[in-house]
A and B are shown apart, each in its own frame.
Chain A
Amino acid sequence: MNTMVKHTFRTERCKGCGLCVSACSKHLLAISKETINKSGHYVAYMTNQEACTGCCNCALMCPDCVIRIEKE
C-alpha cells in the first residue's frame, strides 16, 4: 500500500537486539538467520517494505541508530 517508504539499515551498527522487530505493529521486521556483521551480530532487515506505513517506531526504538527512513 505504501511504496513510498524506504528503510536503509546501517548493518555494521546493528547488534541484533530485536527491539525494532518488537516495535513494529505490522511485524514487518526480522533478525536475519544468515547475515552476520563484522561484530558478529545477526542483523535486522525489512521483510516487506511495501507494507510499511512509515510510522518510524522501529527506528525510534533502535538503540544503535541502524535504521534510516526516507519517504517520497
Chain B
Amino acid sequence: MSQKVLMKGNEAIAEAAIIAGCRHYFGYPITPQTEIAAYMAKRMPKIGGTFLQAESEIAAINMVYGAASAGVRAMTSSSSPGISLKQEGISYIAGAELPAVIVNSQRAGPGLGGIQPGQSDYFQAVKGGGHGDYHLIVLTPASVQEMAELTVKAFDLADKYRMPVMLLTDGTIGQMMEPVSLDLKVESAVEKPWATTGTEMKREHNIITSLSLVPAELEQWNLDRYAKYAHIEENETLWEEYMTEDADVVVVAFGIAARVSKNAVNAARAEGIKVGLIRPITVWPFPNKPLAALAAKGVSMVCVELSMGQMIEDVKLATECKVPVSLCKRVGGIIPTPNEILEAIRAAKGGNEA
C-alpha cells in the first residue's frame, strides 16, 4: 500500500493537478478555495510552472483559454460568485473545444451569499452555466482522496474530449484534512495537433475560435459536440452504490451531502429500514441508468442537497416520476444532520407503506 499524507482537500486538488502535469494555474483570491492558489504559488515556481494571480476571475479564465489553446494543461479555481464571473470564458472554452479544468468550491448563495458550504451551483454546473448549448463534465468528490483522484481524472477527460471539466466541490471538503495517497494514475498525454503553438512553416495555420457566421456550419458544430456528449454519457458516467440491492428507499446525494447521508443510511439500517445510497460521482453526465433501474423496482428516493432542491429535478427526470422523490435540504451554509436525513428516510419508508 502506498504511503499516505495528511492534506486539506484544496491542497490535494493542487498537488494532484501538478501530478497530472498541470504547470499553468491562473486564479483570483476567493474564500473558501484560496488554499489552492496559495499552494500553487508556492509549488509552481519550484517545478518550472506558472502561477499567476489574475486581475479578475474573468481574466483568469481567459488566461486558461490562452494556455489551453497553446496546448498545455491549465486550470483555474474559484468559489461560487467567482465561478459566475468565469461563465463567459467557460462558454468560449466549450465553444472552441478546449480542454481545461475548473474547480468550484461552492459556498452558499445567491449574490455574495456566505462563505459556508453550498451545493446551489448545481444547475449552473450541469446545465452549462453560460450562454449557448454545451455541457461540462462535472465531477463531485466526497473525500480528500477523491479530490486528488478526480482532479487527475478531470485533466485526462478534458484532454480526451477537448472540453472543460469542472470539479464541483464545496468549502467543507476543501478545508477538511484526511490522509491521502498521492500514488495517482495519469493517462498518457494526448497529442494536440489542433493547438496554436506556431506553424513552424510546416502546416496550415491553426485557428481556435467559437465563431461561425454560417448558420449551417454552426449548427453542425453543435450537432458534432452533442454527438460527443452522447458518447460521454454512455462511457463516462460514474456513481457509487451503497446497500441498494434490497433497498426500499434510496438516498441520492453527492459530495458533502453524500458523506452525511451515508451515516444516516447506516443509522436507518440499524433500525431495520432497507435503505441504500446512490452517490453520483459525475453529475453531468448524470447516473440516469441506475436510478431508472431502482425506480423500475418501485424504490422511493430521498434527495439530500445543500440547495433548495436542484439535483432533485434530474432524479425526477431519471426516474420519470414513477416513484415518490422527496427532498431533504438545508441552505445558507448549513449541512443537514444525519438525524434530519434519517427523519426523511423514515418518512419515505412510511410513504411506501401507506
Q: Do A and B interact directly, with beta carbons closer than 8 Å?
A: no
Chain B interface (Cβ within 8 Å of chain A)? none
Chain A interface (Cβ within 8 Å of chain B)? none
